Protein backbone atom coordinates (compact mmCIF):
# COMPACT_ATOMS: atom_id res chain seq x y z
CA UNK A 1 0.00 0.00 0.00
CA UNK A 2 2.70 2.52 -0.70
CA UNK A 3 2.42 5.79 -2.51
CA UNK A 4 -0.73 6.71 -4.40
CA UNK A 5 -2.23 3.26 -3.85
CA UNK A 6 -2.55 3.88 -0.12
CA UNK A 7 -6.06 3.71 1.25
CA UNK A 8 -7.39 6.63 3.31
CA UNK A 9 -7.84 5.33 6.84
CA UNK A 10 -9.15 6.52 10.13
CA UNK A 11 -6.21 7.31 12.36
CA UNK A 12 -5.91 7.65 16.11
CA UNK A 13 -2.95 9.47 17.63
CA UNK A 14 -1.90 8.69 21.19
CA UNK A 15 1.02 8.78 23.56
CA UNK A 16 3.41 5.84 23.47
CA UNK A 17 2.88 3.17 26.13
CA UNK A 18 5.32 0.63 27.56
CA UNK A 19 3.85 -2.20 25.48
CA UNK A 20 4.58 -0.20 22.29
CA UNK A 21 8.34 -0.56 22.65
CA UNK A 22 8.84 -3.38 20.07
CA UNK A 23 6.82 -1.64 17.35
CA UNK A 24 8.34 1.74 18.24
CA UNK A 25 11.81 0.20 17.93
CA UNK A 26 11.02 -1.24 14.49
CA UNK A 27 9.79 2.16 13.28
CA UNK A 28 12.71 4.00 14.85
CA UNK A 29 15.14 1.60 13.16
CA UNK A 30 13.51 2.35 9.79
CA UNK A 31 13.75 6.07 10.52
CA UNK A 32 17.47 5.79 11.28
CA UNK A 33 17.98 3.73 8.12
CA UNK A 34 16.12 6.34 6.05
CA UNK A 35 18.61 8.98 7.20
CA UNK A 36 21.55 6.55 7.00
CA UNK A 37 22.29 6.93 10.70
CA UNK A 38 23.87 4.06 12.60
CA UNK A 39 21.80 3.53 15.70
CA UNK A 40 22.81 1.02 18.33
CA UNK A 41 20.31 -0.84 20.47
CA UNK A 42 21.83 0.97 23.47
CA UNK A 43 21.13 4.37 21.91
CA UNK A 44 17.56 3.36 21.09
CA UNK A 45 17.12 2.10 24.65
CA UNK A 46 18.24 5.49 25.93
CA UNK A 47 15.66 7.28 23.78
CA UNK A 48 12.95 4.85 24.90
CA UNK A 49 13.89 5.49 28.53
CA UNK A 50 13.50 9.23 27.93
CA UNK A 51 10.04 8.66 26.46
CA UNK A 52 8.98 6.69 29.51
CA UNK A 53 10.37 9.20 32.00
CA UNK A 54 7.78 11.85 32.93
CA UNK A 55 10.61 14.14 34.09
CA UNK A 56 12.34 14.06 30.69
CA UNK A 57 11.41 16.58 27.99
CA UNK A 58 11.14 14.11 25.07
CA UNK A 59 7.65 12.81 24.31
CA UNK A 60 6.44 10.34 21.72
CA UNK A 61 3.20 10.23 19.77
CA UNK A 62 2.17 7.14 17.85
CA UNK A 63 -0.42 6.96 15.11
CA UNK A 64 -2.44 3.79 14.68
CA UNK A 65 -5.09 2.70 12.23
CA UNK A 66 -8.55 1.35 13.03
CA UNK A 67 -7.10 -2.14 13.62
CA UNK A 68 -4.58 -0.86 16.18
CA UNK A 69 -1.61 -1.22 13.82
CA UNK A 70 0.95 1.45 14.79
CA UNK A 71 1.99 3.12 11.55
CA UNK A 72 4.19 6.01 12.64
CA UNK A 73 5.86 8.02 15.35
CA UNK A 74 6.68 11.57 16.30
CA UNK A 75 9.20 12.62 18.96
CA UNK A 76 8.76 16.15 20.23
CA UNK A 77 9.78 18.42 23.08
CA UNK A 78 9.31 21.99 24.29
CA UNK A 79 12.14 24.48 23.83
CA UNK A 80 12.72 28.00 25.11
CA UNK A 81 12.60 30.87 22.61
CA UNK A 82 14.33 33.77 24.40
CA UNK A 83 13.96 36.29 21.57
CA UNK A 84 10.18 35.97 21.65
CA UNK A 85 10.01 35.19 25.38
CA UNK A 86 7.98 32.10 24.59
CA UNK A 87 8.17 28.34 24.50
CA UNK A 88 8.01 26.44 21.25
CA UNK A 89 7.69 22.79 20.33
CA UNK A 90 10.47 21.04 18.45
CA UNK A 91 9.52 18.01 16.38
CA UNK A 92 12.70 15.95 16.43
CA UNK A 93 11.63 12.85 14.54
CA UNK A 94 8.65 12.06 12.33
CA UNK A 95 8.34 8.75 10.54
CA UNK A 96 5.56 6.81 8.84
CA UNK A 97 6.03 3.18 7.86
CA UNK A 98 6.33 3.09 4.05
CA UNK A 99 3.38 0.67 3.84
CA UNK A 100 1.15 3.34 5.40
CA UNK A 101 2.28 6.44 3.54
CA UNK A 102 -0.19 8.44 1.51
CA UNK A 103 -3.15 7.55 3.69
CA UNK A 104 -3.20 10.52 6.06
CA UNK A 105 -1.14 9.19 9.00
CA UNK A 106 1.30 12.11 8.89
CA UNK A 107 -1.61 14.55 8.69
CA UNK A 108 -3.07 13.02 11.85
CA UNK A 109 0.24 13.27 13.73
CA UNK A 110 0.83 16.88 12.72
CA UNK A 111 -2.76 17.85 13.58
CA UNK A 112 -2.40 16.29 17.03
CA UNK A 113 0.92 18.04 17.61
CA UNK A 114 -0.59 21.35 16.52
CA UNK A 115 -3.43 20.81 19.00
CA UNK A 116 -1.06 19.97 21.83
CA UNK A 117 1.01 23.06 21.05
CA UNK A 118 -2.13 25.20 21.29
CA UNK A 119 -3.18 23.62 24.60
CA UNK A 120 0.31 24.17 26.04
CA UNK A 121 0.54 27.75 24.81
CA UNK A 122 3.56 26.99 22.65
CA UNK A 123 4.27 29.70 20.08
CA UNK A 124 5.44 27.46 17.23
CA UNK A 125 5.97 23.86 16.17
CA UNK A 126 9.33 23.67 14.40
CA UNK A 127 11.24 20.91 12.66
CA UNK A 128 14.00 20.33 10.15
CA UNK A 129 14.26 17.81 7.35
CA UNK A 130 16.79 16.79 4.78
CA UNK A 131 16.96 18.90 1.63
CA UNK A 132 16.43 15.79 -0.51
CA UNK A 133 13.37 14.58 1.43
CA UNK A 134 11.14 15.72 -1.42
CA UNK A 135 8.08 13.67 -0.52
CA UNK A 136 8.22 14.75 3.11
CA UNK A 137 8.79 18.37 2.17
CA UNK A 138 5.77 18.37 -0.15
CA UNK A 139 3.64 17.17 2.75
CA UNK A 140 5.18 19.62 5.23
CA UNK A 141 4.43 22.48 2.84
CA UNK A 142 0.74 21.64 3.32
CA UNK A 143 0.98 22.07 7.10
CA UNK A 144 3.65 24.68 7.78
CA UNK A 145 5.67 27.52 6.34
CA UNK A 146 9.21 26.86 5.24
CA UNK A 147 11.57 29.30 6.92
CA UNK A 148 14.66 31.08 5.66
CA UNK A 149 16.87 29.67 8.44
CA UNK A 150 19.88 27.51 7.73
CA UNK A 151 20.99 25.12 10.44
CA UNK A 152 24.53 24.34 11.57
CA UNK A 153 26.02 21.57 13.71
CA UNK A 154 29.12 22.24 15.79
CA UNK A 155 31.00 19.35 17.37
CA UNK A 156 31.70 19.92 21.08
Enumerate the H helices of 1-156 as residue ranges. 21-34, 41-52, 105-120, 134-143
Q: Give the pLDDT confidence score for residue 48 in this predicted structure.
A: 98
What are the b/e assignments for 1-37, b being 16+ CB within 10 Å?
eeeeebeebebebeebeeebbebbbebbeebbeeeee
What would the pLDDT profile of 88-128 be if each residue is shown by its tens digit? Answer: 999 999 999 999 999 999 999 999 999 999 999 999 999 99
Binning pLDDT at 50, 70 and 90, where does residue 6 land?
A: low
Q: Which domains does the chain have, with CATH numbers?
A: 12-143 (3.40.630.30)
Amino acid sequence: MTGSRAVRRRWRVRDAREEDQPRWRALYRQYADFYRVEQSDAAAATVWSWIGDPAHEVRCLLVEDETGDVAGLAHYRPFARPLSASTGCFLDDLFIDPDHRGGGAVDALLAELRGRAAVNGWSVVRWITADDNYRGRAKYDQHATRTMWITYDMTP
